[in-house]
Amino acid sequence: MRGWFLPLAVLFGFIFLYAPILSLIVFSFNESRLVTVWGGFSTRWYGELLRDRQILNAAWISLKVAFWSATLATIIGTLGAFVLTRFSRFTGRLLLTGMITAPLVMPEVITGLSLLLLFVSMELTLGWPAGRGLTTIVIAHTTFCAAFVAVIAQSRLRQMDESLEEAARDLGAGPVRVFFDVTLPVIMPALVAGWLLAFTLSLDDLVIASFVSGPGASTLPMVIFSKVRLGVSPDVNALATIIIGIVLVAVLIAGWLMRRAMRNPL
């Protein structure tokens, strides 16, 4: 029984997970305008995509948002993780421990709604951020991406031999110097992995972005979603294929970096 059962189970698993994505990729090369009818191989829709100003614009916004929120999330998440792993006692430690991972389990709708309310009331009282757009999306994405980065950075910091930091102190480096000379280089692979993960998460997000975006700041997932509501057109397939490619590469690099980091616990 073991001879055929396991491979079959694996096959079903793969089909279940990847058949939809595979069909999407196949149909992105469809000549026909009808999404469900195969009309021969063509890269026509990729060409169409490049001429679509709206999509290109949205893609550019999405990349900018993903870049800035991943970068900010990496900085904030790393600092949070550092404080939690290296300082054993400070006021509010328990609260921070609990709250740092809260965005991971919070429903996106609630995160989006609460951030929208925050931005509106901030605009009314502080005058900033003026309206909603790129800035508010970046802030919103930073909040939940920082949680992911913090989790990854924390596991690496825990694994790191703390006597490395003590050795640097002992050799005459002050605490800030130690962080930049020793801690940061040692956990760097985990931070790069965290950045890539944050980048893809930001690129994928539709729900939170929809809540906090404003006119002229539609991200790619928002544009795709609105297009699909008018009927699936083949150029969306092409676009989705490209996004899958980018995300896949990022996730693979992140995974590879994390595995390499785990293997060198020095």
169 binds another protein (CB under 8 A): yes
Kindly tell me which of 125 and 264 has the beta carbon lying closer to another protein. Answer: 264
Q: Which of 34, 39, 161, 228 binds another protein (CB under 8 A)?
A: 161
266 binds another protein (CB under 8 A): yes
- Per CB under 8 A, which of residues 179..198 are in contact with another protein? 181-182, 185-186
Least gap, CB of 204 to another protein (angstroms): 32
262 binds another protein (CB under 8 A): no
Pattern of binders to another protein over 201-230, x per CB under 8 A? Answer: ------------------------------
170 binds another protein (CB under 8 A): yes
- Closest residue by Cα to residue 43 from 241, 246, 247: 241
- Tell me, by CB under 8 A, how many residues bind another protein: 19
Least gap, CB of 87 to another protein (angstroms): 15
Q: Which stretch binds another protein (CB under 8 A): 15-23, 162-170, 192-200, 237-245?
A: 162-170
Output the DSSP codes for the chain: -HHHHHHHHHHHHHHHHHHHHHHHHHHHTBSSSSTTS---B--HHHHHHHH-HHHHHHHHHHHHHHHHHHHHHHHHHHHHHHHHHH----TTHHHHHHHHTHHHHS-HHHHHHHHHHHHHHHHHHT--S-SSSHHHHHHHHHHHHHHHHHHHHHHHHHHS-THHHHHHHHTT--HHHHIIIIIHHHHHHHHHHHHHHHHHHHHH--HHHHHH--TT---HHHHHHHHHHT---HHHHHHHHHHHHHHHHHHHHHHHHHHHHHH---
Least gap, CB of 264 to another protein (angstroms): 7
Least gap, CB of 165 to another protein (angstroms): 9
Kindly tell me which of 187 and 254 has the beta carbon lying closer to another protein. Answer: 187
Which residues here bind another protein, judged by CB under 8 A?
A: 161, 163-164, 166-174, 177, 181-182, 185-186, 264, 266
